[in-house]
Amino acid sequence: MTDILFKNARLVDPEAGTMTTGSLIVRDGMINRVLTQDTDINDEKFTAVNFSRVIDCAGKVLAPGIVDLGVKVCEPGERHKESYRSAGRAAAAGGVTTMITRPDTIPATDTPEALEFVTRRANEATPVNVMPMAALTKGRDGREMTEIGFLSDAGAVAFTDCDSVVTDTKVFARALTYARGLGALVIAHPQEPILSAGAAATSGKFASLRGLPAVSPMAERMGLERDLALVEMTGARYHADQITCAAALPVLQRAKDAGLDVTAGVGIHHLTLNALDVADYRTFFKLKPPLRDEDDRLAVAQAVADGLIDIICSMHTPQDEESKRLPFEEAASGAVGLETLLPAAMRLVHAEIIDLPHLWRALSLNPAKRLGLPGGRLAPGAPADLVLFDPDAPFVLDRTTLQSKSRNTPFDGMRMQGKVLQTFVAGTCVFEAP
């Protein structure tokens, strides 16, 4: 371990909601001290000779590393799409210092043995922190709940069947009750599965003109209403993985006002793209749930700014070329996002929808708090998981330069702003821009 002095930085503190100019000291992998303009940073004990490394941030932004809730790594079963090694490189390049991985692998991560494999592979191959989630039901088929207690003991930080909705309400209620007894977090995909089956777009004139099977955003509201009724009944800890439409927001607000232990997230693609971006059947824009109308996008972005939606994630879902180079209805859903999460999120800042401290609350502090992790803060005693970035640096995204094995990004060829310069995990530099 080395002692590091970061100087001349713009420090983003999501916990305090501030951005100040100052310096930061790292010792033994932990944040030791934060020095702002109000502190005597010229004190002799803070001079360069007392540190093994001094990094002049030159006025760039230093913030807690991103905690990305809901990353798919395709080991085991589909390693050709994404491995822990390639996902780790992509995360480091994107300023993501902690990946919360999904259990929708082949086979599903639904046993302590499968979870142990995931943990071992992650530790061997990735330079960033990896915290695995486990399946809520065996095989993610919604019929029999997993051994939540054993999986928690094995290191699972949450339980989810990902985009496989548990349609049997009795099974879901039992799983919620059992999880409540253990204090475990259940993450669900709010969607009415019958209405949304086979849908490739959001219903409306655009989908009709292109002849695409579509689903109303009301299916999301219906799924959320059901889930929250069961949460009210069981008292469980619950997180909605993606809230993407305005119709679901009042439902979420009522649950929070009622004091339920409920949080919600949204993927970065639904915050920055809309249904019209599908254009001429561009399958890299096919997501689950499908991209929404612009009014929905703006409403959800405002909900993030207001704190109603707690977490922004990448919903990193690698798909190979063969899965995407198909007719729109047949193409696989999902997009990679580990490397594009930060610059895409900066669109919200540049559009003056949200400021950096509140954006970082959704990207880092809130997911860390929800999962009981120590990161997401710029405070003494917090892990030195940090990202140094230039929020204004412009570039054109070239998907062939991405670190992921799969490069199915909808942002290919787009002008973006926000470049990661360096990423640190426990005070060790795991990425440095060339």
Cα separation, 182 vs 133, in Å, equals: 15
- List, for residues 99-146, the tens digit of each pLDDT value: 999 999 999 999 999 999 999 999 999 999 999 999 999 999 999 999
Pick the CATH number of 65-371 from 3.20.20.150, 3.40.50.11540, 3.40.605.10, 3.20.20.140: 3.20.20.140
**Superfamily (CATH H level) for 4-62+384-391+417-432:** Urease, subunit C, domain 1 (2.30.40.10)
Which residues touch 80 (CB under 8 Å, ≥6 apart)? 74, 320, 405
Q: 40 or 14: which carries more pLDDT confidence? A: 14
- Helix, coil or strand: residue 321: helix
Q: Which token pair is 66? A: 């991103």
Tokens of 324: 């995407």
* Mean pLDDT, residues 355-370: 98
Q: Residue 160: what pLDDT? A: 98
The reported pLDDT for the residue numbered 41 is 55
Predicted confidence at residue 365, as pLDDT, reads: 98
Structure tokens at 259: 């004091």
Beta pairing, strands 129-132 & 96-101: parallel
Q: 154 vs 112, 116, 161, 286, 304, CA distance in Å?
A: 6, 7, 18, 35, 33
Determine whether 82 is exposed, middle or buried from the number of CB atoms within 10 Å of its CB (0-12, 13-18, 19+): buried
Task: Judge whether residue 364 has pLDDT over 60.
Answer: yes
For the chain, residues classed under CATH 3.20.20.140 are: 65-371
Q: For residue 198, is pLDDT > 80? A: yes
The pLDDT value given to residue 409: 97
With a cut of 90, say whether residue 217 has pLDDT above it.
yes
Rounded to the nearest 5 degrees, what angle is found at the Cα of 418, between the Cα atoms of 263 and 67?
30
**CATH 2.30.40.10-classified regions of the chain:** 4-62+384-391+417-432
pLDDT digits (tens, 9 = 90+) for 56-72: 999 999 999 999 999 99
Residue 44 has pLDDT above 70, yes or no: no
The mean pLDDT value of the chain amounts to: 95
> What backbone torsions phi and psi does residue 354 show, to the nearest 5 degrees?
-150, 150
Phi, psi of 378 (to 5 degrees): -110, 80
Mean pLDDT of the region 233-247: 98
Residue 36 — pLDDT band, cuts 50, 70, 90? confident
Render pLDDT for 297-319 as a digit per residue (tens, 0 to 9): 999 999 999 999 999 999 999 99
The predicted model scores a pTM of 0.95
Task: Give the distance from CA 120 to its chain's centroid.
Answer: 22
246-301 confidence digits (pLDDT tens):
999 999 999 999 999 999 999 999 999 999 999 889 999 999 999 999 999 999 99
Sequence-distant (6+) residues with CB within 8 A of 145 are 136, 137, 138, 171, 174, 175, 178
Confidence at residue 210, expressed as pLDDT on a 0 to 100 scale = 87
Q: At 359, which helix (H) or strand (E)?
A: helix 356-360
Mean pLDDT of the region 21-40: 86
pLDDT at residue 40 is higher than 60: no
Does the pLDDT at position 49 exceed 80?
no
Residue whose tokens read 């995990």: 425
pLDDT higher than 70, residue 6:
yes
pLDDT band for position 51 (cuts 50, 70, 90): confident
* pLDDT value for 50: 72
